[in-house]
Chains A and B, each alone.
Chain A
C-alpha cells in the first residue's frame, strides 16, 4: 500500500488504474499528441537526488497538460514544495517512508505557494 500526500496531509491511495505511469527520463514530446486525452500521469522518482521528474512535470504543464500529475517514489518531505511548484498535484510515498517522514513534516511544507521566487518572476506585467 502507499500514502498520497497533498496540502491537507496523508490519505490512503485509492484505485490508481487510470494513471499513465512514466519514468522521470521519459521524453515529454512522445506524449504531445495525446496529452489532451490523458486523465492522469504518474512520474516515478527512483532517487531523491534525481531531479529530472521536476523538469518533466514542468514541461508537461508547459505543453498544456491539465490533468492530474503525481510524483511517486523516493521523495523527501523537503522536496514537497518543489514538486508542487513544478506542477505536481500530489506525491505518493510508501507506507514505510510515511513512517520515516510523518505527516507533520509534509504539512510543514504545505505553504509552498509562499516565499516562491518563480511566482514573483512569472506574473503578467502590471
Chain B
C-alpha cells in the first residue's frame, strides 16, 4: 500500500491546523455560517438534516487494518458507534460535533487519511476497482495511477472552484467494476500496439437528474500523458462549463451542449500546452508509487480443509457460493463481506464490526481491505485454507450475510433519514424489500440481481444503473417510488427505462415482488439472469406485472 511521505504528512497536518483555526473562528462567532461554509466544504464537512456530517475519503477504496481500526475508533469516540460506507469509496460519520472535527481530522492524519475534497465543486476522491491487484481479469493494478491522480488533484490551485463537482474513476480490468462510464472522467486500462499500458479515456458520464453514459474522448492515452491530458480536460471544463444553472453545470452537459468533437479539439490543443509544463518528475513519482503496490507475499499451503468445511457446513457453502470472487492466485479468493445483513442499514458498519474486519484483514488478507461502490467491504487476498475461520468470525458479528450480487445486496442512499436533499426514505424501503424477499425464500432462486434505491433525483443510490431501480420522490407531500428497469453498471453500461407511474411507500415492496415473480415465470432457465430475461423479452411483460394488463392502472 502507498504510505505517506514527509510531504504528504506535512500537507495534511497543515490542513488540519488551518481548519482548526477556522472552526475556532466559527465557534467564537468571528465568522458567520455563510463565510464558514466554503471552508468546511473544502474539508468534507456537510450540514445535514439533524447534524454535521463528515465524509472521509478512502482513496481508490483501499484500507490497511490500522486505518480500518482508526475508522472504528473514530466512530466509537466521536460519533455514535457506526459509520456509513458510500458508493464513492468514502465513509460518512453522521453525528460529529463541530468542535470535535479538528480532532477527528487529526486522528485521521495519524493513519494517513483525510476528508479533503470530499465535498465542494472540486475533484473528489479518486475511485478504483475494488478488486484491484487481486482480480484475475486485470491488465495491471490501477491504484498506482489513481494515487498519482490523487496527488495531482489534491489542492490543485486551478480546480478548487469548478462549475460543479468532478469525479474520476479508474479500472485495470476488462470487467468494469468501477462504473467508469458514469463518471466525469472514466479511465479504462488498455494495451497499446506495442503492448504498453495506457488508458481509454471516457468523459461526461454521470447520474443525477440527467443520467448520461460517458463517451470515449481518447481511445488510447499513453501513461506518460495521463496528468497533462486529465489537466487539459478539467481546465477546458473549468472555462467552458456552465455556471448559471447548477443543474446544467456538470461536464456531461458541457459535452452535450458543445459536442464531443468540439470538446476533443479543445482538450487536444490544451493538452499540448499542459504537457510542456510536466518535466518528468510525475513519471518518477509514478515509478516510486508502483513500488508501494507489490503483489502480496502469497503463502503456499494446502487447501484441503477448505473442501472439508464446504462439505461439512451448508451455511458456509452457501456463503462461499455468493461472497467469493476468483483471485489471480488459484489458491486464493477475494472475499466480499456484505454490509446488507437483514435488518441492517445498507452500507453501515458498527465499530465492533469494523474492528473484526480489521483483525481479519491483518491476520488473513495481507493487511488489506477494500470498500466497494456497492457498499460492501472486501478482503482482497485470502488463502482458501482460512475461509472457514473467516466465515465463523464474521458470523459472530452479523457480517456473514450470503447475499452478494443477489436481490438484497442493495445500493441505497441515506435518504430522508439523514439527507437534506432527499425527498423520500431509502433505507426503510431497502429493509422492507429485504424482509419480503427473506419471507418468500426466493433470493437464491432469483440469482444475480441489482436493486438500487435513491431517495431523490440526485441519484446517489445509482438507481439508473440498476436492473431494478427505485427512485423516491415527493408527490404533494407523499412519498412516491418510481421504478426503472434494465440499467447496467458494467462495461456494457446502460440507463434503466422508467416502467411507468410510481407507487406509494406501502405498495412498492409488493410491486418489486411482482417483478421478481414475472422474471421467474418468464426466464428460459435458471442460468438466464433477470437482466438477460429483460433484454430478451423487453419491458412490456414487466409493465403488465406492475400495472396489470393495460386496464387497471391502480398506481396513480
Q: In the complex, which residue of chain A has the Cβ closest to the Cβ of B274?
A: A62
Q: In whole angstroms, how far apart are the Cα atoms of A117 and B281 in the complex? A: 11
B285 in contact with A63 (CB, 8 Å): no
A112 → chain B, closest Cβ, in Å? 9
The answer to whether A124 touches B281 (Cβ under 8 A) is yes
Are A49 and B38 neighbours in the complex by a CB distance under 8 Å?
Answer: yes
Residue B158 interfacial (CB < 8 Å): yes
Please, how many angstroms separate the alpha-carbon atoms of A57 and B139 in the complex? Answer: 39
Question: Could you say which of A13-21, A36-44, A80-88 contacts chain B?
Answer: A80-88
- Most A C-beta atoms less than 10 A away, residue of B18, B121, B157: B157
Bound: A44/B154 CA distance, A: 25
Does B160 lie within 8 Å of A59, measured CB to CB? no
Say whether B301 faces chain A, with CB atoms less than 8 Å apart: no
Prevailing SS type, chain B contact patch: helix
**Are the CB atoms of B276 and A117 closer together than 8 Å?**
no
Give A33 Cβ to nearest chain B Cβ, in Å.
16
Report the minimal beta-carbon distance from B161 to chain A, rounded to whole angstroms.
3
A95 CB-CB contact with B under 8 Å: no
Among B161, B243, B273, B285, which residue has its beta carbon within 8 angstroms of that of A59?
Answer: B273
Interface contact tally, CB-CB below 8 A: 102
* Chain A contacts with B in 88-119, Cβ cutoff 8 A: 108, 114-118
What DSSP secondary structure best describes chain A's contact surface?
A: helix
The answer to whether B281 touches A118, judged by C-beta atoms less than 8 angstroms apart, is no
Within the complex, the shortest CB–CB distance from B276 to chain A, in Å, comes to 7
Partner of A122, one of B14, B121, B277: B277
Write out the residue numbers on chain B whose beta carbons fall within 8 Å of the beta carbon of A78.
38-39, 42
B239 at the interface (CB under 8 A from A): yes
Sorting the interface of chain A by its residue count into under 10, 10 to 19, 20 to 34 or 35 or more gives: 35 or more
B155 at the interface (CB under 8 A from A): yes
A99 CB, min distance to chain B CBs, angstroms: 13
| Whole-angstrom CA separation of A94 from B181 in the bound complex | 45
Docked Cα-Cα span, A48 to B120, in Å, equals 13
- Please indicate the chain B residues that have their CB under 8 angstroms from the CB of A54 in the complex: 157-161, 238
The reply to whether B161 and A49 contact each other, CB–CB distance below 8 Å, is: yes
Chain A residues with CB below 8 A from B238, complex form: 51-52, 54-55
By beta carbon, the residue of chain A nearest B153 is A117
- Residues 1-19 of B at the A interface (beta carbon under 8 Å): 7, 10-11, 14, 18
Question: Can you report 12 A-B residue pairs in the complex whose CB atoms are below 8 A from each other?
Answer: A51-B238, A59-B270, A76-B38, A79-B161, A117-B7, A117-B152, A117-B155, A120-B7, A120-B285, A121-B152, A121-B282, A126-B284
Complex A-B, nearest 9 residue pairs according to Cβ-Cβ distance, in ascending order: A125-B280, A51-B161, A124-B279, A85-B157, A123-B281, A82-B157, A54-B158, A115-B11, A55-B238
For the complex with contacts A51-B238, A54-B158, A86-B157, 16 further pairs of A-B residues with Cβ separation under 8 Å are: A49-B121, A49-B161, A51-B160, A54-B157, A54-B161, A58-B158, A58-B235, A59-B270, A62-B276, A82-B157, A115-B10, A117-B154, A121-B227, A121-B282, A122-B279, A124-B280
